[in-house]
Amino acid sequence: MMNTIDHGTIRELQLNRPPVNALSPELIALLRGAIEEAPGAGARALVLSGTPGRFSGGLDVPLLLGVDRSVMAKFWPEFYSLLAAIAGSTVPIAAAITGHAPAGGAVLAMFCDWRVMAEGNYKIGLNEVQVGLPLPPVILGGLRRLVGPRQAERLAARGEMLSPQDAIRLGFVDELAPPQKVVDAAIQWCQQLLALPQEAMTRTRQLARADLVALFGSLEPELERVIESWWSPATQSALRDLVQRLGKKAG
């Protein structure tokens, strides 16, 4: 479900949940724990990666459509806690986007410090609107921070998916690399950051990311709206249509 690979003091957390590294409650809890525990285990930086061709397909919608309200009431706070752990990590995190990264996959990358994406016929973006989910304010805030208010409005409202070239042009990702070199590029970025004077880099990074961390300051009202939206008839219908389309593609 997740592989841990140490490159000296840089720890790679590789999502490995076939077929598309979809985010289940178990994987979310596992990833959050690994991020929070890594600094205490000696990791000075983290790389979040996926498998070749697929970073993460986002939330495991087929699985989540089969659970009851009590499970979803726990799931959304856990997902937000994972994002908060990435945003507030005491060590830098580089996202090695090894392939497609729709919806929740793009969200994971957004809250990292740096994003390296594989060149090729891949897509990244927040397509939640296309599958019937309103984009939550915290995620919209993270998008605004990356691409600015006008582009965030355009991308979010349309649920637009981006090619690697468009993603780097708009600032959604920071670097492109050949697919086989994406993890190496993320490690190299970490190494360059860690070569700087430690205290100065750490304090400046903390100040620079304070606005991102602040997005998670008061989440209860937002979580209530997100959970309510998940159970709305329109959203449930759109999600079931999505699962049906995915099933036809798989067949």
Span 74-120, pLDDT tens digits:
999 999 999 999 999 999 999 999 999 999 999 999 999 999 999 99
Decide: helix, strand or coil at residue 53. strand
Mean pLDDT of 141-170: 97
Decide: helix, strand or coil at residue 196. coil
pLDDT band at residue 250 using 50, 70 and 90 as cut-offs: low
Q: For the chain, which domains are there?
A: 2-198 (3.90.226.10)
251 pLDDT above the threshold of 60: no
Q: What is the pLDDT of residues 49-73, one digit of tens each?
A: 999 999 999 999 999 999 999 999 9
233 pLDDT above the threshold of 80: yes
Residue that is written with structure tokens 């945003």 in the block: 87
Query: In this prediction, what percent of the chain has a pLDDT beyond 90?
Result: 90
Query: In this prediction, what percent of the chain has a pLDDT beyond 70?
Result: 98
Q: What is the pLDDT of residues 4-19, one digit of tens each?
A: 999 999 999 999 999 9
150-169 burial, b for 16+ CB within 10 Å, e for fewer? Answer: ebbeebbeebbbbbbebbbe
Q: Is 123 left (phi over 0), alpha (psi -120 to 50) or beta?
A: beta
Decide: helix, strand or coil at residue 135. coil
- pTM across the whole model: 0.95
249 pLDDT above the threshold of 80: no
